[in-house]
Amino acid sequence: MNQSFTLGGKKVQLQGWVGNLYANGHVVFRAGNAGAKEQMAVWINHLCLCAGGFSGQSLCIGTDAGWVFAPIEPDTARSWLSFYLNGYFTGLSQPLAFLPRSANAGLSAQFSRAGQFEPGEENREKANDKIVQAFMGGFMSTGDVENAYVARVWPNIDETLVDNIYGCAKDYLLPVLEAREKLEDAN
């Protein structure tokens, strides 16, 4: 991977290696659940590969599920990478309320059984409740607030933080969730 981007008038060079390339494509196995962080990592690697002309698919396989990302056009991949790089640089100058666990919990509440994202006031209220639950944690699960950095930046959750988490979820995670296809449904 060796791509140049111009962001805010400055040239940014993105270089690196993407491992786990096989004849059938990019494959990432996880000896645990393939959660939002893992899917996001595979998606970004997939964008890097496609921006460089890769025409294969990427698979994210965990003990709970498997996901496939279909090949996309290089220009589309570069556009998505520019978007994520802009988010990265924004996060360097101010806290970015992208908390994958909370973001995934909120967005998952808005997907139908058929896998379609269904925004709307009723579903948004469900999403907000799920975001708060994932942020706070519970008896059998750790919450995002238990991370030392998160606790320092956002010691308490309020409506503004829920809205920021939801906004970041829609911006950064929703494209991942919409681009993936369940492994058994893929060709």
Does residue 78 contact residue 101 with C-beta atoms inside 8 Å?
A: no
Q: Does position 23 have pLDDT exceeding 80, yes or no?
A: yes
| Mean pLDDT (the chain, rounded) | 94
pLDDT of residue 60: 97
pLDDT of residue 181: 94
Instruction: Give the three-class secondary structure for 27.
Output: strand
- Give the residue with greater pLDDT, 139 vs 130: 130
C-alpha span between 12 and 2 (Å, rounded): 11
* Domain chopping of the chain, boundaries: 2-94, 100-177
Does residue 106 contact residue 165 with C-beta atoms inside 8 Å?
A: yes
Q: What is the residue whose two structure tokens read 């988010």?
A: 87
pLDDT of residue 113: 86
Instruction: Give the three-class secondary structure for 186.
Output: coil
Angle between helices 159-168 and 121-136 (to 10 degrees): 100
Q: Does position 29 have pLDDT exceeding 90, yes or no?
A: yes
Q: Is 68 exposed, middle or buried (0-12, 13-18, 19+ CB in 10 A)?
A: buried
pLDDT band, very low/low/confident/very high, at 185 (cuts 50, 70, 90): low
